[in-house]
Chains A and B, each alone.
Chain A
């Protein structure tokens, strides 16, 4: 009897301690979260550019350093050097969710849920820019795309892009598990960054190969054909993969419907 009462008192004691500890944690955490953003904001006002680099470096040192090494020097067999790749490359890889990479593979898959926000990606870009410069997206990209020639872009797209991304931008397979992704739902900036920096298996289309105006033409064409075109041919586009899905459709839709009809007609007499 006495023993069990003692045990119960012990339990109560421990529960009480846990509650107090949790309460203390909540208070400390709450205070921290109330005060800390304002502290950072004050710092940013002091020296905006340097603090972006510093914040970028902080993120880099926790999320990127394992593969890309100290100061973006790269680690043999894990990740390439990032010196000189520029903010365009960083923002493309990070904003599309390709980096940080979850595991080494044929290529980093894109993700709808990037680890970092666009602001954080900009900080990372600033840091990499600080390490060794590199390619950046022009500030007047929107204006360039506005004035672009869609027809010219189509011609450039077919010659330079369609061999991997396909006529309709549906993407395509490359060797050994790599692939050219579909261009559905990508932003102007992403396309520009990809052309400029050649991420993953993509070749680099530097400004002496495709001028910024030509890149803008391609962007305008891709947005027109892949993302704005309403497919005049019908409700079902069959993914615009061409004859492979059309062949499936004639068997799965046409033949199936008519085989059911033969059963129906032959059954009636």
Chain B
């Protein structure tokens, strides 16, 4: 907006002027407001994580007002009848109090848990988008690595939160973590004893996890999220290739007002979905699980979904124990749990560097790749997705077995064989599909669109008429460069790449007057 000198009577302009006089805001604000962001639905996935994180902070603060991470033994005399008179820790009792006696407490607890699941789910989906489009390539490798670290911080943050109420399920989870920790060669038993203050479960672990859960990890995550978003600002957002888009520009909408409006709307929508889920879908009903007792392990004891693939790997891995008696035992759980988790951290962290090394691609990339244009990477990604999915399903294989009436043994063996074989098949199939899609794009560029009109030569040959996308040479071929973006595949898409007819549920544009008039003329057969 053009600034008018002195004479402006607008209150806003005046206030802005006063502020600028004191804090020198106009310059930075102008840069910020004019910052351009490319517009595509897949660029909004990270925001789901960001906004659910904010809701996690808000709802978590509410919960912290009422939760007491104490392991003092108390006798319950609250509102929930089936637990009255039962001995339990103060942590569990305060969670029950929070759920049944604090106004809105259960809703907040459920919303907090759903926000956590949505946070982790959206990180996964966002990560897949970044991976499959090659957005992690130089210069954005650091931000990819920060994202991976954020995922793992969220992973443990979520697990610690799941452990805090000291209910039957969370204690079972801690027990598994204790077993995993103790399986590390040499340092394992010492580390486990340090964590639990001696024998499991002890009384120190929950107060300790509490301060990690409510202070240390959120602070780390908040810091990293700020850096993560700041780097997107500084390095500029990637964009899809297309008309007018190059490695050196950004085509899109300004931060203000367009992008800010969209973001605020999206934030409120996300919070609305989470509030609805918190109110409608019962999650983690701790009153059913009872207080944690070491002797109680329920069937269908699962971790939250983002941990479930590790649980699945533990369930699938054969009981191969390595022993050097009498000095040393390496339990089977070490391989899926500790080695498996270590690889799940390291491989994604190193992936950008590995890809650079193998492709010898040293360039800077601000334009995204469509998954089909890098079949090797896409196939690797699908391979990992299939591996992860089989692991996660196997983590709940007892529930699947019971509900779908399959033998649990059959589920386990299907998982064991499937997790080795299916990723390889997935790799091959994805590779062929990606090449096929790319090939068809190139074919359209060379030969033109399929019109659906069949012609017959005088000599009896049938052929389909193609509509070339540019002036063809004498062989009917067009020399159009393949630039990795959508190629029109239908006649009514020629001339405009995005759909010309805008609107989500129904069209927001009136059909052109001229078009229908012209059609009437054709149909009535009138000639000029």
Q: Cα distance A170–B409 when bound, in Å?
A: 20
Q: A162's contact among B83, B281, B296, by CB below 8 Å, is which?
A: B296
Residues of B within 8 A of A (CB): 39-45, 48, 81-86, 99-100, 106, 110, 113-114, 117-118, 121-122, 125, 168-169, 253, 258, 262, 265-266, 269-270, 273-274, 277, 279-285, 288-290, 293, 295-306, 308, 392, 395-402, 405-410, 502-504
Q: Which of A155, A167, A235, A245 contacts B298 (CB 8 A)?
A: A167
Point out the residues of chain A lying under 8 angstroms from B40, CB to CB. Answer: 266
In the complex, 7 of the A-B residue pairs with CB atoms within 8 angstroms, ordered by the A residue number, are A151-B82, A167-B298, A244-B302, A254-B117, A254-B273, A261-B269, A262-B44
Task: Give the Cβ gap from B48 to chain A, nearest Cβ, in Å.
Answer: 5
Chain B contacts of A172 at CB under 8 A? 298-300, 398-399, 402
Name the residue in A163, A240, A262 with the highest tally of chain B Cβ atoms < 10 Å from its Cβ.
A262
Contact B504 A258 (CB under 8 A): no
Q: Roughly how many angstroms separate A119 CA and B33 CA in the complex, as a whole number? A: 81
Report whether A240 and B288 are in contact in the complex, using a CB–CB cutoff of 8 Å: yes
Residues of chain A with a CB closer than 8 A to B302's CB? 242-244
User: Is B290's CB under 8 angstroms from A155's CB?
Assistant: yes
Separation in Å of the B185 CB from the closest CB of chain A? 30
Chain A positions within 8 Å of B295 at CB level: 159
Query: Would you call B401 and A249 a contact (CB within 8 A)?
Result: no
B168 touches A254 (CB 8 A): no
Which residue of B305, B392, B398 is within 8 Å of A250 (Cβ)?
Answer: B305
Mask, A189-215, CB within 8 Å of B = 1, is: 000000000000000000000000000
Add 11 more A-B contacts to A149-B85, A243-B304, A257-B273 (CB < 8 A).
A150-B82, A150-B84, A162-B297, A171-B402, A173-B408, A176-B408, A177-B406, A246-B305, A247-B306, A265-B41, A267-B502
Residue from B262, B305, B402 in contact with A247 in the complex, judged by beta carbons closer than 8 Å: B305
* Neighbour of B289 across the interface among A153, A155, A167, A258, CB < 8 A: A167
Residue A183 interfacial (CB < 8 Å): no
- Which residues of the other chain, B, contact A265 by a CB distance below 8 angstroms? 41, 44, 262, 265-266, 269
> When the two chains form their complex, are residues A269 and B288 in contact, meaning their CB atoms are under 8 A apart?
no
Task: Return the contact of B117 from the options A149, A158, A173, A247 (Cβ within 8 A).
Answer: A247
Residues of B within 8 A of A168 (CB): 285, 288
Say yes or no: is A166 at the interface (Cβ < 8 Å to chain B).
yes
Residue contact A179 to B396, C-beta cutoff 8 Å: no
Binding site for B on A (CB under 8 A): 106, 149-155, 158-159, 162-168, 170-177, 179-180, 221, 224-225, 231-238, 240-251, 253-255, 257-259, 261-269
Asked if A232 and B106 sit within 8 Å, CB to CB, the answer is yes
Q: Hey, which chain A residues are within 8 Å of B289, CB to CB?
A: 167
Count, A-B residue pairs, CB within 8 A: 221
B39, B48, B82, B502: most-surrounded residue (chain A CB, <10 A): B82
Distance in angstroms from A170 CB to nearest chain B CB is 7
A241 to B43, alpha carbons, bound, how many Å? 34
Query: What CA separation (Å) do A175 and B100 show in the bound complex?
Result: 38
A246 to B113, CA, bound (A): 10
Q: How far is the CA of A257 from the CA of B283 in the complex (A)?
A: 18
Cβ of B81: which chain A residues have Cβ within 8 Å of it? 150-151, 224
The answer to whether B300 and A241 touch across the interface, beta carbons within 8 angstroms, is: yes
A192 to chain B, nearest CB (A): 19
Inter-subunit contact A224/B299 (CB<8 Å): no
Determine whether the beta carbon of A243 is less than 8 Å from that of B305: yes
Interchain CA distance A154-B392 in the complex, whole Å: 31
The answer on a CB contact under 8 Å between A266 and B83 is: no
CA distance A232 to B40 in the complex (A): 40
Minimum-distance CB pairs A-B, first 4: A247-B305, A172-B299, A233-B282, A244-B396
Cross-chain contact B504 with A173 (CB below 8 angstroms): no
Decide: A163 and B299 in contact? CB cutoff 8 A: yes
Q: Contact: B283 with A246, CB < 8 Å? A: yes
CB distance from B252 to the nearest CB of A (A): 9
How many angstroms from the CA of A245 to the CA of B63 in the assembled complex?
Answer: 24
Known: A174-B408, A242-B300. A267 touches B258 (CB 8 A): no
> B122, A267: Cβ atoms under 8 Å?
no
Considering the chains assembled together, what is the distance between the CA atoms of A176 and B401 in angstroms? 10
Q: Could you tell me the distance in whole angstroms from the C-beta of B321 to the nearest C-beta in chain A?
A: 21
The answer to whether residues A246 and B304 also contact, given A240-B288, A253-B277 and a CB cut-off of 8 A, is yes
Pick the residue among B82, B100, B280, B296 that contacts A225 (CB under 8 A). B82
Task: Write the nearest CB–CB distance from B233 to chain A, whole angstroms.
Answer: 19
* B53 shortest CB reach to chain A, Å: 14
Which residues of chain A have C-beta atoms less than 8 A from B39's C-beta? 266, 269
Q: What distance in Å separates the Cβ of B87 from its nearest Cβ neighbour in chain A?
A: 9
Report the minimum CB–CB distance from A105 to chain B (whole Å). 10
> CB-CB < 8 A to A180: which residues of B?
299, 402
Chain B residues within 8 Å of A162, by CB: 168, 296-299
Taking CB atoms, residues of chain B closer than 8 Å to A247 are 117, 304-306, 308, 392, 396
CB distance from B201 to the nearest CB of A (A): 16
What residues on A are CB-neighbors of B42 within 8 Å? 262
B308 & A244 in contact (Cβ 8 Å cutoff): yes
In the assembled complex, the Cα of A249 lies from the Cα of B44 at a distance in Å of 21
A166–B410 alpha-carbon span in the complex (Å): 21
How far is the CB of A182 from the nearest CB of chain B, in Å?
9
Question: Whole-angstrom distance between the alpha carbons of A267 and B299 in the complex?
Answer: 46
Q: Are A250 and B41 in contact (CB under 8 A)?
A: no
CB nearest to B508 among chain A residues? A268
Verify A173–B106 contact, CB threshold 8 A: no
Q: Are A151 and B86 in contact (CB under 8 A)?
A: yes
With the chains together, A155 CA to B280 CA distance in Å? 29
- With beta carbons under 8 angstroms apart, the residue of B273, B399, B409, B503 that contacts A258 is B273
